[in-house]
Amino acid sequence: MKRLVSLALLLTTTPLAAQTVPDRIAKSLALRDQWQWLTRDIASPAEWDADGRHFHYRKTVAGGFAFVDVDAATRAKAPAFDAAALAPALTKVMGKPIEPLRLPFEHFSYTPDRSAIRFTIGYEDGITYACVLARPACSVVPPENPGRPRGFGVVRDLRVPADNHPRLSPDGRLEALVLDDNLVVRAANGGKEIWRSQDGSPANFYDPETIAWSPDGQHIALQRVRPGYARMVTRVLAAPPGKVQPQVVQQLYPKPGDAVDQEAPVLFRVSDGKRTEIDPSLFANAYTLSAPEWRADSKSFAFDDLKRGFGEAKIIAVDADTGRAHAAVTETAKTFVFRDRIWSHDVKGLGREILWASERDGWRHLYLIDGATGRVVRQITKGNWLVRDIAKVDDEKRQIWFSANGFVPGEDPYYKQWFRVDFDGRNLTRLTQENATHEVRFAPDMTTYVDVYSRTDLPEAMELHDARDGRLIQTLEKGDITALTAAGFRSPERFTAKGRDGKTDIYGLVVRPRDYDPAKRYPVIENIYAGPHDSFVPKAFWPFGGFSGGDKVMGMQQLADLGFVVVMIDGMGTANRSKAFHDVAWKNLADSGFPDRIAWMKALAAKDPGVDLSRVGIYGGSAGGQSTLNALLFHPDFYKAGVAYAGCFDNRMDKIDWNEQWLGYPVDRSYLDASGVVHANQLRGKLMLVVGEQDSNVDPASTTQVVDALIKADKDFDLLVIPGGEHTAGRSTGPVAYAMRRQYAFFLKALRGEE
């Protein structure tokens, strides 16, 4: 009762403008759902049937989405399926209402006879559904045996049995499996055992999931494994749904510096079980080794070796008769080899020629390597631009189809354009032309492709092109945003300024309030994600994307409408530019490109007097959460307030793979230099921390340790814990309205003085 009386007194004594703040926030939060359904004919990238006779895609229509199927020969369009009939069938299996124009998936595939479709809802732990189209009926597809999981790919979870189904020989007469940690070869269908290895043990076992028969059936290669350190992260689910008592949750979670599984390939002769161990000197101190893969002629097998610390990557080939190994490809770097962009192609599967992507000249380009010697035969592409996606390699025609960034002078270097080039580097053919970013999907026979292109200020257009020369065959869709524009949408401003060196162009977006008055002064809020694994400022039009290291244009508009200028910037240290641009992040995660970001915002303020740099806020999630806190710790004279979601605030506490990629191995001073825990006593601005109690991506104890350090330093801050929340806590469905409302209210108070 006292609380109700106090609230009533507060409402009667508070100025009217302050009473309307919750209404303003609620209106802003509702904007996404109001605007998302106002576009027409904006298409997603096409998906081809395996036989190339049809492709399909999703596009926007009044009130939602429709799926379109196209006959590639006649180019006739038809509905991909009866959405009105499918929705009730999906409602039944999912147990919640599904609307025909808002089916909960974007991508699907037909069965070969096109009588049914399959799609997955969700991400890492998504559920796959199959729906028969005639008299629709849907069901959940049981997950295939995923095998033994690995903590971030480097430590096997020995609590889970490996997938040990017998692997048949090419002629079907024999089978191989692992029994009592040893490789066994026996007659097919559980027949008579022929031989088994004798040296396997729980501490050094043969992994059945890596068994590889040579195509001629004469040899088997597989990995032998010494288990790494099985670090377990323990979380408490304090409020389990429908239950009273808390539950304990454990997750295999290797962290930087932990011992990883030590893998070694072993070669066996099938006729008599002769074992040949491969000289380990070529792959000493491995972080990961891929499973063996045989060449087409059975004369050798190969595997990928990535060194601990990410300074070297190799393809190692092993002779089947002698067991001798050699490095078919070697890639080294003074800083790091970018694991996510390692790419290779074994020409004709024989190991004699290998196509390889490398940054050795300062840009990511394609090379032809002699697989016998490891020598570079030729550099196929070159220039101050970089290769992005490799879509197709034709070994017979000796051609490669790929996308590239930065090829066109004067164009935004993050836009993708598409090309074809011969193995000898000749006949480089540009296939896409528009000054925009392009997502291309080639037909299986590479005769045509579907191109979806756009910019943040240009709605998506979809076109069918001839893949030989890029000639336009047909315009399939052209996005219409008339209704969206009439509702008040304005494209964000694309803004470019020089970075810390005064020379390098830094690219970003500016989103202003819809009622922006240039005569007024507005606080600035940066939406940050500075993870070195990619670039993040949107380049395509679609403004309604969810959170991927920070919400995109729509989320920025929602915040801007409360009276802020909201910006997003790709500073140095992020990917998709030169190697030197990227290397700024190496052992330097505290940097987060802040010198570039600050210079960029100062250039914006010089152009626009309405930009008030005396009141700058920042927000982000995951690595963006770490950057948010570090902005307040290391640049407190510039950044005054921040909201940090699910931050990896101390890289020693976070997952092994991401952090050793950028800070190296062993754990050294660079981990401490970026730590929000170590530097918590430097906090000067206003801080709000948001964390999901069940975050399986970043150990939530990382946030708790920051809280502990801030308390010990006697610093004031806000903390929001989402019970049961995952890594997307506050940034997805469910708690999104609550956490975002708290974020908006925090910035209104911290930067505008509005309660």
Q: DSSP readout, 30-90?
A: THHHHHTTS-BSPBPPPEE-TTSSEEEEEEEETTEEEEEEEETTT--EEESS-HHHHHHHH
Q: What are the C-alpha distances in Å from 677 to residues 17, 589, 662, 726?
A: 39, 14, 19, 22
Sequence length of the chain is: 755
- DSSP letter string, 545-589: ---SSS--HHHHHHHHTTT-EEEEEE-TTSSSS-HHHHHTTTT-T
Looking at residue 100, the DSSP 8-state letter turns out to be: G
pLDDT at 634 over 60: yes
Token pair for 244: 């009273």
Residue-range domain boundaries for the chain? 40-144, 490-752
Distance (Å, whole) CA 582 – CA 571: 9
Residues 6+ apart with CB under 8 A from 144: none
Can you tell me the mean pLDDT for 172-179? 98
Residues 6+ apart with CB under 8 A from 712: 680
SS3 of 219, please? strand
The identity of residue 449, as a single letter, is Y
Going by pLDDT thresholds of 50, 70 and 90, the confidence category of residue 361 is very high
Going by pLDDT thresholds of 50, 70 and 90, the confidence category of residue 208 is very high
Residues 6+ apart with CB under 8 A from 5: none
Going by pLDDT thresholds of 50, 70 and 90, the confidence category of residue 735 is low
Can you tell me the mean pLDDT for 637-641? 98
**Interval 331-340: pLDDT, tens:** 999 999 999 9
Q: What are the C-alpha distances in Å from 7 to residues 16, 18, 72, 748?
A: 15, 14, 65, 20
The closest alpha carbon to 266, from 370, 356, 353, 176, belongs to 176
Average pLDDT for the chain: 94
Rounded to two decimals, what is the model's pTM?
Answer: 0.94
**Interval 703-720: pLDDT, tens:** 999 999 999 999 999 999
CB 588 within 8 A of CB 670: yes
CB 747 within 8 A of CB 643: yes
Q: What is the pLDDT of residue 736?
A: 63
Token pair for 38: 């106002």
What values do phi and psi take at 339, rounded to 5? -60, -40
Q: What is the pLDDT of residue 263?
A: 98
Going by pLDDT thresholds of 50, 70 and 90, the confidence category of residue 144 is confident
pLDDT at 414 over 90: yes
pLDDT at 548 over 50: no
Is residue 250 exposed (0-12), middle (13-18) or buried (19+ Cβ within 10 Å)?
Answer: exposed
Distance (Å, whole) CA 562 – CA 390: 43
**Interval 554-594: pLDDT, tens:** 999 999 999 999 999 999 999 999 999 999 999 999 999 99
pLDDT at 659 over 80: yes
**Interval 66-119: pLDDT, tens:** 999 999 999 999 999 999 999 999 999 999 999 999 999 999 999 999 999 999
- Specify the fold of 490-752: Rossmann fold (3.40.50)
Beta bridge partners of 60: 65
Angle at the Cα of 399 from the Cα atoms of 396 and 403, rounded to 5 degrees: 145
Distance (Å, whole) CA 358 – CA 355: 10
Among 543-557, 567-581, 637-651, the range scoring the smallest mean pLDDT is 543-557
Map tokens 């292109």 to a residue. Answer: 453
**Interval 368-397: pLDDT, tens:** 999 999 999 999 999 999 999 999 999 999
**Interval 481-538: pLDDT, tens:** 999 999 999 999 999 999 999 999 999 999 999 999 999 999 999 999 999 999 999 9
Token pair for 747: 């910035």
Beta bridge partners of 128: 120
Q: What is the pLDDT of residue 15?
A: 42
Residues 6+ apart with CB under 8 A from 213: 167, 168, 169, 170, 176, 219, 220, 294
Q: What is the pLDDT of residue 130?
A: 98
The closest alpha carbon to 265, from 340, 183, 337, 332, belongs to 183
Distance (Å, whole) CA 374 – CA 366: 15
Q: What are the C-alpha distances in Å from 432 to residues 120, 298, 438, 472?
A: 31, 40, 8, 10
Distance (Å, whole) CA 724 – CA 404: 41
Residue 112 is inside which H or E element, if any? none
Q: What is the widest separation between alpha-carbon atoms in the chain? A: 91
The closest alpha carbon to 206, from 229, 185, 230, 232, belongs to 185
Q: What is the pLDDT of residue 124?
A: 64
Distance (Å, whole) CA 580 – CA 408: 20
